[in-house]
Amino acid sequence: MVGMLPVLVAAQTQPGADAGKAALSAEQVFSRVSPAVVRVVVRDREFKEIGLGSGFFVAADGLLVTNHHVVRGAQFATVLRADGSTLFVDGVLAFDEGRDLAILKVNGTGLPCLEVVPADAPPPVGTQVYAVGNPMGLTNTLSNGLVSGIRKEGGEVREIQTTAAVSPGSSGGPLVDAQGRVVGVIRSYMADGQALNFAVPAAAVRVLQVKAATVKPAPLASAGGKPLDAKATRELDAAYAAIAEKRWSDAARIITGLRSRQPDNPFVWYALGYLHGELGNPELAAEAYKTAIRLKPYYADAYLFLGSAYSKMGRYAEAVEAFKTAIRLKPDYADAYFFLGAAYSEMDRSAEAVEAYKTAIRLKPDYAEAHFFLGAAYSKMGRYAEAVEAYKTAIRLKPDEAEAYGDLGAAYLRRGNRAEALRAYQALQRLNPVMAEMLRPSIERLPE
């Protein structure tokens, strides 16, 4: 579920100190809370939107609370503020997957933030509460309701149930009381129920804040991005959308304009490099990526795509160095190891390719393409038994990949195993009859 709103950092008030505070009107609550609430947008390295939700600031220097599922798998993330401007996410400081919470570090200062209630106990059933977030992408939406239940597990409060309306896009937004303080973080809703919505209690947020205060963020590709005003935000979003939808002429027009107005923005140059790569211009792509790297020297994704551009030009030694730099900057970068293996394969350095593919698989066990290319490297070395196992794993992970069946059949043929080669051939015939016909003569020549 996706949706978010900001919340002020926990004030150190004593329990019961707010007992005499007057409740604010709904309008006053919204006025107090909404400036701290943002929309979180998560993209992959090819600019495709893979996550959307809400979040809220708990510190003026950019600490932002949201749901873990909103940013799971994030490589690039931004937050859209109520005024239409954009801030870039430097990284994830801490997360609790079980509670579905994450604290991000956003590149910004002097930001409005919310107070997280200091009490450990959740508000009692019947308490007036408000949810603020971006349901269905509708920025800064307020809904009100009551605490309708407290859900416990093993004696511990796990969720606050509320009648305050939420929808997809609300996840990660704050649930606040009548003083505008955060009492929970919107997590989910029951689509088939009536006003059955759930929030993680504020006590869990405070625990995660303590953890976040002692660590450095795990960096994302968006780290270091400078704030964008509303106009630049709209332009960059339009460029991302055009690239994702393969509207290349629109993308080129928008990015060219952005480049002239924001020549020191590494993300604009990165987008330009990606565009040139998709248009079949690896030389121009490489120059754009090198500019992005000059502006942001620790840009691991730019090094990855620079290596890819070098590979397309047949400059494999330079590609290897670019991939190795990406790995140095981001040691758990499975894709960089995968592309490093591919470059080694092109250089007939099969043993090194095998080690690179195996590392990619260790980091990402369900990496079907790495298993497939590992099989190809083993085949190139004449290690057909190992190739068979790699291809079989690739097929298990990606059953509709015709080429894997073809190469599996070829590996079985090399081992003289007609029966298994025939089974691979039959599977291939269902998926790709043309490729199957190419394999048929080799199978028919084998003895029964």
- Rounded CA-CA distance 8/58 in Å is 4
Q: Cβ neighbours of residue 193 under 8 Å, at least 6 residues apart?
A: none
Cβ contact 87:81 at 8 Å: yes
Do 160 and 199 contact (CB within 8 A), yes or no?
yes
Q: What is the pLDDT of residues 25-57, one digit of tens each?
A: 989 999 999 999 999 999 988 888 888 899 999
Question: What architecture (CATH level 2) is domain 230-445?
Answer: Alpha Horseshoe (1.25)
What's the rounded Cα separation, in Å, for the pair 154 and 322?
Answer: 51
Cα–Cα distance measured from residue 323 to residue 335, given in angstroms and rounded to the nearest whole number: 9
List, as one string, the DSSP characters of 14-53.
Answer: PTTTTTTPPPPPHHHHHHHHGGGEEEEEEE-TTS-EEEEE
Give 26-219's CATH code, choosing from 3.40.1170.60, 1.10.10.10, 3.40.718.10, 2.40.10.120: 2.40.10.120
Judge contact between 57 and 64, C-beta under 8 A. Answer: yes
pLDDT of residue 152: 77
**Which class for 411: exposed (0-12), middle (13-18), buried (19 or more C-beta within 10 A)?**
buried
Sign of CA dihedral 300, 306, 309, 313: negative
Give which of 397, 398, 420 is closest to 409, Cα–Cα: 420
Phi, psi of 119 (to 5 degrees): -75, 145
Paired with 200 in beta bridges are 185
Q: Dmax over Cα atoms in the chain, in whole Å? A: 91
d(CA 298, CA 222): 11
Question: Which phi and psi angles does 43 have, rounded to 5°?
Answer: -130, 160
pLDDT at position 442 is 65
pLDDT averaged per 10 residues in sequence order, the chain, 448 residues: 36 40 86 94 86 93 94 90 92 91 94 90 88 74 87 78 81 92 84 72 90 85 89 88 90 92 92 94 97 95 97 98 97 96 97 98 97 97 96 95 90 87 86 77 61
- State which H helix or E strand residue 76 sits in: strand 76-80
Q: What is the pLDDT of residue 47?
A: 80
Give the residue extent of every domain in the chain: 26-219, 230-445
pLDDT at 252: 93
